[in-house]
A and B are shown apart, each in its own frame.
Chain A
Amino acid sequence: MLGLSKKDTTFLLIVIFLTLATPILLQPFPENSALAQFNAGYPDLMQRFAIFGIFAIGFNILFGLTGYLSFGHAAFLGVGSYSVVWMYKLLSYNVLPGLILAVIVSGLFALLIGYISLRRSGIYFSILTLAFAQMSFNLAYSVLTPLTNGETGLQVYTDDPQVLVSEGSPLSPHFFGIVMNESAKIDVGGWQFTFSNGYYFCAIIAILVFYLSMRIFRSPFGVMLRAIKTNQTRMNYTGLNPRPYTLAAFVISGMYAGLAGALLAAMDPLAGAERMQWTASGEVVLMTILGGAGTLMGPVLGAGFIKYFENIFSKINDNILHTWFSALPDGLEDAVVFVLHPFIGKGWHLTLGLLFMLVVIFLPGGLMEGGTRIWNAITGKNRKKKQDADHHPKPSAHVN
């Protein structure tokens, strides 16, 4: 079905189901329970899961398949956001023109950066992309202020042209009248589920681009990219020029990043230069490696994992810890809280860093490898016998 094998179709259907049911699945704890703070089923966070999932899926097409590690993909994220806000300013709050423009502009931008950066491989390639992204950041931050509104960030003002706005048009981002920040709250028992337009808009796009990446992974182009990762010499002596293939992968992944950036601005009509900073580029690298580079689902898991940590762990403070451990004797309670303190709240980065190290050391294939191992342990399947369909990279994560 849909040009996929039976196994892939089943996999896609499961992904679609999980994505659409996210508002329910991520709300496992009743509203008034002590664990409610671990619920992730609120629109803002779920949208981030979907958007950064898209970002990571695209990044994986480049890094996971070809092994070229870009440290500059946040530049495309920023370009996407700026494109959308400009369309708001010039036309209207309908997100569609902005999304289209974002994908086109980020694609062209990626063509330029990729064309130059791909003249080198390995660490030199990474440094080139990093340099380009930092240049873009600085341009957006100070030089190109007329285009980006510099430090303040680009936003819509009442005196903007908005030529397509008529009486009664929504005053916030919408898709032909479906307003992104509207949602339906449904109470069932002690649970509250929020079904937000914004989330479903992102989710449907995420499913579409996930499907697209599946097709790419299984296509002749996908095999070519994996071949390039393994042996460029053989590629050359087989009559193939690796450069156009890697450039195509770079542009495609840049467009994914642009789309993700566009969706960020579609959920919240702002675009700032900080979106292009190198930390944002690094984050998508972490997501992809944490989840499992080169696997279809891994980067999405990695994105979800990191965004969950960022939003949930960072909110736990000492008071909450004290209530959890109040059953312990006072001295011990204070001691436990003291030990855990650096890992929560603002210290969530520390926890994430430790987890990342553990994964890289013990599960080079990322969370996906962990999942596979657990699954094989349960089903008692011999690991070596079955060749994984998702093409896990070799443990030695080669950066080509």
Chain B
Amino acid sequence: MGILEVSNVNKRFGGLQALGDVNLDIANGTVHAIIGPNGAGKSTLLNVLVGKLTPDTGTVMFNGTSVLGRKPYEINQLGISRVFQTPEIFSDLSVFENMLIPCFAKRDGAFRLHALESIAAEKQLIEKAEQMLAEVNMADKRHMIASSLSRGDKRRLEMAMCLVQEPKLLLLDEPTAGMARADTNNTIDLLNEIHDKRDITMVIIEHDMHVVFSLAKRITVLAQGTPLVEDTPENIKGHPKVKEAYLGEAAA
């Protein structure tokens, strides 16, 4: 029994079968990569998991509760956080304020009116936010407006915002896309470190095979909306069907 069980999920966009009979069982504490060519349905699958899309059929169980029919903010409160393909951050706010929002959300739930308290009085949360920023090496950028960050830093900020919520399951949609090689390696180290330290289950979508093989304990290959194979990285590397469908061009 995994932390996340996806059974018989189908999703059509008009005539396009974006997801077809997807079955997935993600073990607790693992790093599970989902790979596949462009348009394979990877982001669509994540959207189903976080409540952005409702599948046509099928079930999604997280820790024994169904996530289907719940609002994205409710699913987040169950313990699922998501890093987007293009970073979703509060670009008009400072880096530090960006970090505060998930801290408040974690403590207070969906809504609490703190209209008269001052932010400076929230010592514990401030400390928590600052620690997390230090962990992703962004402490010196705390006063910067988020929109002025580099692409890599925006991703790192988004990751920090997700991590500070201490999720049970972290979904990452191409966390290193658009990053320079050095930044990519930093992110790999960061994610490995986080995984070792916090015991978070991660589902990671990635095109960069270097990243996939550096992180994943298990890999599912998705093609045209359907899982082709699921196996360990070693076996995936040599798998003929995978080579044919995907790795052929990317890692041969």
From the candidates A3, A229, A237, A244, name the one contacting B111 in the complex (CB within 8 A): A244
Q: How far is the CB of A232 from chain B (nearest CB, A)?
A: 10
Contact A220 B122 (CB under 8 A): yes
Q: Is B250 an interface residue (CB 8 A)?
A: no
The stretch from A211-219, A330-338, A370-378 touching chain B is: A211-219
**5 A/B residue pairs, CB under 8 Å, sorted by A:** A5-B120, A216-B115, A219-B119, A226-B90, A229-B92
Q: How far is the CB of B216 from chain A (nearest CB, A)?
A: 23
Most buried by A among B76, B89, B90, B106: B90
Contact B119 A220 (CB under 8 A): yes
Chain A residues near B105 (CB, 8 Å)?
238-240
Q: Is B44 an interface residue (CB 8 A)?
A: no
By Cβ-Cβ distance, the 9 closest A-B pairs, closest first, are: A239-B76, A220-B114, A244-B111, A221-B115, A239-B105, A234-B88, A236-B72, A241-B110, A230-B92
Q: Is B33 an interface residue (CB 8 A)?
A: no
Chain B residues near A312 (CB, 8 Å)?
none
Most buried by A among B90, B91, B115: B115
Chain A residues near B106 (CB, 8 Å)?
239
Q: Is A54 an interface residue (CB 8 A)?
A: no
Q: How far is the CB of A391 from chain B (nearest CB, A)?
A: 8
Q: How far is the CB of B84 from chain A (nearest CB, A)?
A: 8
Q: Is A394 an interface residue (CB 8 A)?
A: yes
- A387-B141 Cα distance, complex, nearest whole Å: 13
Contact B92 A216 (CB under 8 A): no
- A394-B148 Cα distance, complex, nearest whole Å: 12
The stretch from B13-21, B23-31, B53-61, B94-102 touching chain A is: B94-102
Q: How far is the CB of A236 from chain B (nearest CB, A)?
A: 4
Contact A239 B109 (CB under 8 A): yes
Contact B114 A238 (CB under 8 A): no
Closest to A247 in B: B111
Contact A239 B116 (CB under 8 A): no
Q: Is A393 an interface residue (CB 8 A)?
A: yes
From the candidates A235, A393, A394, name the one contacting B101 in the complex (CB within 8 A): A235
A196-245 CB contacts (< 8 Å) to partner B: 215-216, 218-224, 226-227, 229-231, 233-241, 244-245
- A245-B111 Cα distance, complex, nearest whole Å: 7
Interface on B for A, CB 8 Å cutoff? Answer: 50, 71-73, 76-77, 81-82, 84, 88-94, 97, 100-102, 104-106, 109-111, 113-120, 122, 143, 145, 147, 161, 165
Chain B residues near A367 (CB, 8 Å)?
none
Q: How far is the CB of B165 from chain A (nearest CB, A)?
A: 7
Chain A residues near B116 (CB, 8 Å)?
3, 215-216, 219
Contact B90 A239 (CB under 8 A): no
Contact B100 A239 (CB under 8 A): no
Contact B72 A237 (CB under 8 A): yes
Q: How far is the CB of A221 from chain B (nearest CB, A)?
A: 4
- A244-B81 Cα distance, complex, nearest whole Å: 21
Contact A241 B115 (CB under 8 A): no
Q: Is A252 an interface residue (CB 8 A)?
A: yes
Closest to A252 in B: B115
Contact B90 A230 (CB under 8 A): yes
Contact B113 A221 (CB under 8 A): yes
Q: Is A248 an interface residue (CB 8 A)?
A: yes
Chain B residues near A229 (CB, 8 Å)?
92
Chain A residues near B113 (CB, 8 Å)?
221, 248
Chain B residues near A248 (CB, 8 Å)?
113, 115
